[in-house]
Amino acid sequence: MAEPVTIAALGDSLTQGYGLPPEDGFVPQLQAWLQGQGADAAILNAGVSGDTTAGGLARIGWTLTDEVDALIVALGGNDALRGLDPAEARANLDAILGEAGARDLPVLLVGIGAPGNFGPDYRAAFEAIYRDLAATHDTLLVRDFLAPIVAQADRAAARAAYMQADGLHPNADGVALIVAEMGPAVLALIDRTAAAHGSD
Active site residues: 13, 166, 169
User: What is d(CA 104, CA 19) in angstroms, rounded to the nearest whole number?
Assistant: 34
Strands 107-110 and 5-11, bridge-based pairing: unpaired
* C-alpha to C-alpha distances, 91 to 94, 95, 108, 160, 163, nearest whole angstrom: 5, 6, 17, 35, 30
Handedness of CA 76, 77, 78, 82 (dihedral sign): positive
- The residue type at 193: T
Contact indicator for 21, 173 with CB cutoff of 8 Å: no
User: Distance between the two ends of the chain, CA-based, in angstroms?
Assistant: 12
User: What is d(CA 60, CA 58) in angstroms, rounded to the nearest whole number?
Assistant: 6
Strands 140-142 and 107-110, bridge-based pairing: parallel
